[in-house]
Amino acid sequence: MPEVHTQSTQAPGFDEIVTLIVKHRIKAGFEAPYEAWLRRIVGIAAKSEGHLGVDVIRGKQAGLQMFTCVLRFCTTEAMQRWLDSPQRQALVDEAVPMLADGDQTEVNPVNEFWFAPQADAASPPPRWKQAVVTLLVILPHTLLVPLIWGPLLQLNALLSNYVVATFLITLTIVLSVVYVFMPMATRLFAPWLSPSTQSKETR
């Protein structure tokens, strides 16, 4: 299992979001026990510090059931803590006999986590589709957020400063897009972004 080791003296920030993609191809006859195991590890991962959510994507590869878990963490450090945790190590050891190809993990940086590849896809959706969805999410924010902030910014000379006002508006847009609307949009447009018959769960 690959490891990612980083050192940071800064506090975690929203711009550090990383995505851990875990792929498991299940041996024939082990689908039911794997499903039970998956429910347990998803519940445990959700309690891990810095965990932001997980999508579970079901598909098939070479005739075997394929599960892709897309876990999002607020920082690389938080992700690494989960990867190295004794709980995860014990659970992965428990699952190994059910896996045809072992525990496969892949790390994506913040600029890729919205459009993680589907279970049996070789790459994320085409860039132009990513751009369309991103535009649909960001455009309303750029129109509405300044209007919402406008009256508040006029209440104080410091807040009305161009740099301060721009920072507050931009911060609001980024936080809203990253944590709320882009995950919703990618789920909504999933059939168009990556047409397939796979089913997807979000926790």
Same domain, 149 and 95: no
Rounded percentage of the chain residues whose pLDDT exceeds 90: 28
pLDDT tens profile 41-88:
999 998 999 898 888 888 888 889 999 888 888 888 899 999 999 999
Same domain, 107 and 149: no
Same domain, 81 and 169: no
Q: What is the pLDDT of residue 6?
A: 34
Residue 170: pLDDT band with limits 50, 70, 90: confident
Number of structural domains the chain divides into: 2
Name 58's bridge partners. Answer: 67, 199
Does residue 168 lie in a domain region? yes
Q: Which two tokens stand for residue 69?
A: 């878990």
Same domain, 88 and 171: no
Q: What is the pLDDT of residue 13?
A: 44
Q: Compute the C-alpha angle 40/75/190, nearest 5°.
A: 65
pLDDT tens profile 98-131:
999 999 998 875 445 455 555 445 456 777 887 8
Same domain, 132 and 189: yes
Q: Rounded to two decimals, what is the model's pTM?
A: 0.53
Same domain, 145 and 109: no
**Domain interval for residue 151:** 127-193
Same domain, 18 and 40: yes
CATH of the domain at 39: 3.30.70.100
Question: Rounded CA gap, 52 and 54, in Å?
Answer: 7
pLDDT over 50 (residue 7): no
Q: What is the mean pLDDT of the chain?
A: 79
Question: Rounded CA gap, 21 and 107, in Å?
Answer: 6
- Tell me what the mean pLDDT of segment 21-34 comes to: 94
pLDDT over 90 (residue 163): no
Q: What is the pLDDT of residue 84?
A: 92
Same domain, 139 and 162: yes
Question: Rounded CA gap, 116 and 178, in Å?
Answer: 14
Same domain, 150 and 102: no
Same domain, 71 and 137: no
Same domain, 95 and 36: yes
Same domain, 90 and 30: yes
